[in-house]
């Protein structure tokens, strides 16, 4: 099925990279000789998750997300929220590893199709992770919402990507991601095929069915490359 596509676009967090904010926060707390607890993570997520949702809706900026989520901790530790955000990104850049099968998948696909990433993540973290694992050698396109000014599922970030791809036929593009609301909905609205990386065996709503669905990256490699998947 790989011959069906000229471009395969990926989300980054929890699609190519394992992203565990709790691990990053734990490393952040250690810098201040503080014990990180489950309650600390819940309090952080109570701010962080709604901010990310508002960011995807275009209601807040990337800078607002990065600063506002750390304001309570900044007061607690006696530093600025901007400093905490920088420290958190430093920790996550070192701790975020590729998901199982990601390295094999990217290497195999890069020999057959052009690869790109469209991510709602932040520039510094994405650039550093890509270089650290060598993905920068295999991806022709890296589109980061912080740089574009709009986030998935907004059509404009996909249009920006397509323009940088020299506007290939949309029938020849596949978007792969773990998030139905940003990756699948965004891809569908942009007129391209989608593949939902459904890690947890959830059920997609009837109105938001992806073109394909897999539970892991090795399964995606098998779907796309068939008998050639591991040659």
- The answer to whether 11 is a known catalytic residue is yes
Instruction: Give the active site residue among 3, 11, 14, 156.
Output: 11
Compute φ and ψ for 157, nearest 5 degrees.
-70, -30
User: Which tokens in the block code for residue 150?
Assistant: 């709009």
Contacts of 175 (CB under 8 A, 6+ apart): 9, 10, 11, 118, 183, 184, 186, 187, 190, 192, 193, 194, 195
For residues 29 and 34, what is the distance between their CA atoms, to the nearest angstrom? 5
Helices (H) and strands (E) in the chain, counts: 11, 6
For residues 209 and 216, what is the distance between their CA atoms, to the nearest angstrom? 18
| Count, residues in the chain | 231
Category of 149 on φ-ψ map: left (φ > 0), alpha (ψ -120 to 50) or beta: left
Compute φ and ψ for 12, nearest 5 degrees.
-105, -70
What is the chain's percent helix, strand, coil content, to nearest 5?
A: 55, 15, 30
Report the catalytic residues: 11
């Amino acid at each position: 099925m790989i011959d069906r596509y000229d471009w395969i676009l990926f989300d980054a967090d929890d699609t190519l990279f394992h992203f565990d904010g709790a691990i990053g926060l734990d490393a952040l707390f250690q810098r201040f000789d503080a014990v990180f607890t489950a309650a600390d993570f819940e309090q952080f997520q109570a701010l962080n998750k709604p901010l990310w949702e508002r960011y995807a809706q275009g209601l807040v900026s990337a800078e607002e997300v990065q600063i506002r989520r750390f304001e309570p901790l900044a007061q607690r530790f006696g530093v600025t929220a901007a400093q905490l955000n920088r420290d958190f990104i430093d920790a996550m850049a070192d701790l975020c590893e590729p998901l199982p099968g990601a390295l094999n998948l990217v290497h195999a696909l890069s020999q057959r199709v052009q690869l790109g990433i469209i991510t709602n993540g932040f520039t510094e973290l994405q650039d550093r992770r890509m270089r650290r694992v060598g993905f920068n050698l295999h991806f022709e396109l890296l589109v980061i919402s912080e740089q574009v000014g709009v986030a998935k599922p907004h059509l404009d970030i996909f249009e920006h990507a397509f323009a940088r791809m020299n506007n290939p036929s949309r029938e020849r593009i596949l978007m792969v991601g773990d998030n139905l609301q940003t990756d699948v909905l965004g891809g569908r609205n942009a007129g391209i095929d989608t593949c939902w990386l459904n890690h947890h065996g959830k059920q997609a709503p009837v109105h938001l069915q992806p073109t394909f669905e897999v539970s892991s990256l090795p399964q995606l490699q098998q779907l796309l490359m068939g008998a050639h998947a591991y040659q």
